């Protein structure tokens, strides 16, 4: 098996990730070049050599599991106590989060990490409660906190985090290491990874080449990027007029950045250092477009695609640090049968939809009630047991 760069770089390819991700999304598993520039991404200093991240060494080290379950992707990382990512997995959720989480755990185990001492587990993302129940999380946190924590770990003096994922985007404003403001956009598709994938497919360009193609342009075409529909129809029009494809692609990147700055980032004070993360951060055309629009360097961390999971792992380390106890259920959760069901509470006009998760038929957790009537898994409330070996 191939090991490069201090972690399983081909986690996807090696563990079958390429089989799980359509080629149109394969750019999400590619990492940008490691940075060595002082003061940019400090994480590299911690990645000492590839031997540090051999699974054979895992049993000797405490590791922390981070899981980020979103509507598009499910990401898992294993991080050691020094903050080095030793393994990462990126999977498409495909509307089946339980299976995606279990597959992620299974892939880590197949790499040999099931011998590791997992000393803590954290979950985030829209499916964080579900993931927390399945893996046995010590901490369950929202995406804003997880992404901010990860960005601060990489660039301690970061003041702005731009995050664009497969289906949503967010901005986080940080001052003196504290989140002071944020905004999320889950409505407009323009600028998200899914939108870029569709346009790349429509232009018949492999998404991996999309960003590099944009950089070849010296004369970008102005494309209306107010919303996804406008952007697509304007792009088709510009194609029909006969503009070179690289100018259209660069124009599209610029339009999506304008859309982001005028919507998600509207009214926010964007100050450097600026960190750009999420799947779209791997698109060098988008990075360049942000730099030109903002007039500052935009840093893309080495693990831009899995920053939410990294944040969850860091939070897990903090949550378990004092006691050395964890709720992590072990890698065997990959083969346990989980079922979910839901019902509508009729005790008041709110009519909350209550989600139940069962393990081998036994009720594990319920959530979804506005009043807490049915909840059995209070968010962000750790309950721990001895660390699994």
> What's the min distance (Å) between Cβ of 347 and ligand SF4?
4
What number of other Cβ atoms are within 10 A of residue 114's Cβ?
18
> What's the min distance (Å) between Cβ of 349 and ligand SF4?
7
Contact map string, positions 301 to 340, toward ligand SF4, x by CB under 6 A: ----------------------------------------
What torsion, rounded to 10 degrees, do the Cα atoms 234, 235, 239, 243 define? 100
Count of residues in contact with ligand SF4, rule CB under 6 A: 11
Q: Long-range pairs for 240-244 at CB < 8 Å and ≥24 separation?
A: 244/217
Query: Between the CA of residue 154 and those of 24, 95, 148, 267, 273, what are the distances in Å?
Result: 28, 31, 10, 26, 11
Q: Which residue lies nearer to ligand SF4 by CB, 63 or 352? A: 352
Residue (of 76, 110, 73, 109) closest to 91 by Cα position = 73
Q: Which residue lies nearer to ligand SF4 by CB, 33 or 346? A: 346
Contact map string, positions 73 to 112, toward ligand SF4, x by CB under 6 A: ----------------------------------------
Let me know: does 278 contact 196? Beta carbons within 8 Å: no
Residue (of 285, 288, 311, 308) closest to 298 by Cα position = 288
d(CA 105, CA 100): 9
Does residue 215 touch ligand SF4 according to CB under 6 A? no
> What's the min distance (Å) between Cβ of 133 and ligand SF4?
19
Name which position in 81, 373, 378, 385 contacts ligand SF4 (CB under 6 A).
373
Q: List binders of ligand SF4 among 343-362 (CB under 6 A).
A: 345, 347-348, 350-352
Q: Which residue lies nearer to ligand SF4 by CB, 10 or 368? A: 368
d(CA 59, CA 181): 40
Residues engaged in binding ligand SF4 (CB under 6 A): 345, 347-348, 350-352, 369-371, 373-374
């Amino acid at each position: 098996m191939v090991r490069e760069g201090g972690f399983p770089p081909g986690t996807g390819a090696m563990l079958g990730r390429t089989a799980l991700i359509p080629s149109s999304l394969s750019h999400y598993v590619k990492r940008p070049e490691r940075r060595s520039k002082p003061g940019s991404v400090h994480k590299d200093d911690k990645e000492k050599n590839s031997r540090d991240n051999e699974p054979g060494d895992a049993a000797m080290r405490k590791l922390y599991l981070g899981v980020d379950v979103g509507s598009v992707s499910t990401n898992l990382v294993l991080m050691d106590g020094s903050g080095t990512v030793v393994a990462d997995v990126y999977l498409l959720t495909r509307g089946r989060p339980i299976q995606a989480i279990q597959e992620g755990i299974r892939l880590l185990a197949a790499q040999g990490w099931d011998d590791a001492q997992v000393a803590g587990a954290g979950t985030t993302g829209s499916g964080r409660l579900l993931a927390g129940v399945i893996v046995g999380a010590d901490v369950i946190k929202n995406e804003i906190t997880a992404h901010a924590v990860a960005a601060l770990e990489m660039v301690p003096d970061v003041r702005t985090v731009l995050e664009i994922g497969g289906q949503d985007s967010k901005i986080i404003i940080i001052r003196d290491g504290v989140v002071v403001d944020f905004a999320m956009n889950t409505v407009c598709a323009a600028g998200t990874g899914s939108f870029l994938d569709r346009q790349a497919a429509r232009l018949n360009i492999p998404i991996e080449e999309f960003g590099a193609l944009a950089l070849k342009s010296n004369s970008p075409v102005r494309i209306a990027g107010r919303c996804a529909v406008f952007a697509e129809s304007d792009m088709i029009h510009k194609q029909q007029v006969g503009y070179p494809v690289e100018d259209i692609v660069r124009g599209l990147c610029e339009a999506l950045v304008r859309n982001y700055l005028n919507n998600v980032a509207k009214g926010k004070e964007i100050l450097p250092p600026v960190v750009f993360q999420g799947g779209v951060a791997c698109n060098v055309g988008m990075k360049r477009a942000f730099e030109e629009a903002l007039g500052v360097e935009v840093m893309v961390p080495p693990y831009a695609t899995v920053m939410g999971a990294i944040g969850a792992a860091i939070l897990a380390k903090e949550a378990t640090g004092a006691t050395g106890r964890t709720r992590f259920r072990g890698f065997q959760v990959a083969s346990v049968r989980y079922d979910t069901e839901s019902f509508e509470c009729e005790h008041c006009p709110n009519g909350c939809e209550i989600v139940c998760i069962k393990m081998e038929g036994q009720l594990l957790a319920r959530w979804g009630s506005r009043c807490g009537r049915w909840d059995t898994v209070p968010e962000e409330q750790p309950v721990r047991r001895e660390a699994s070996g």
